[in-house]
Amino acid sequence: MGTGRTLRKKPRTRPAKSPGEKRRRVKVQKARLIKLGMDPAAVEKLQPDRIRTLLLRPARIRKTA
């Protein structure tokens, strides 16, 4: 999964984000929200951008849960 030497060579562009990797990241972030105490049903209804904004302040999630 690492990028290694490929990106240190000059005329190289960054690799595109694959849909599978994106889904995996969202799944991990949802698990983090549930572990912080949010209701799993409520987490499933959230949009991915909202999930990321919630994870910016985990202490606030613990306080409200």
Tell whether 8 is covered by a domain.
no
Tell whether 4 is covered by a domain.
no
Domain total for the chain?
1
- pLDDT on residue 16: 81
Provide the residue range defining the domain that includes 40.
18-64
- Residue 20 to residue 22: CA distance in whole angstroms: 5
Tell whether 48 is covered by a domain.
yes
The conformation of residue 1, written as its DSSP 8-state character, comes to -
- The SS3 call for residue 9 is coil
Q: What is the pLDDT of residues 4-59, one digit of tens each?
A: 677 777 766 777 889 999 999 999 999 999 999 999 999 999 999 999 999 999 99
Tell whether 46 is covered by a domain.
yes
34 and 43 Cβ atoms separated by less than 8 Å: yes
Tell whether 53 is covered by a domain.
yes
The conformation of residue 7, written as its DSSP 8-state character, comes to G
Tell whether 40 is covered by a domain.
yes
Torsion (CA) 60, 63, 64, 65 in degrees, nearest 10: 120
- pLDDT on residue 15: 75
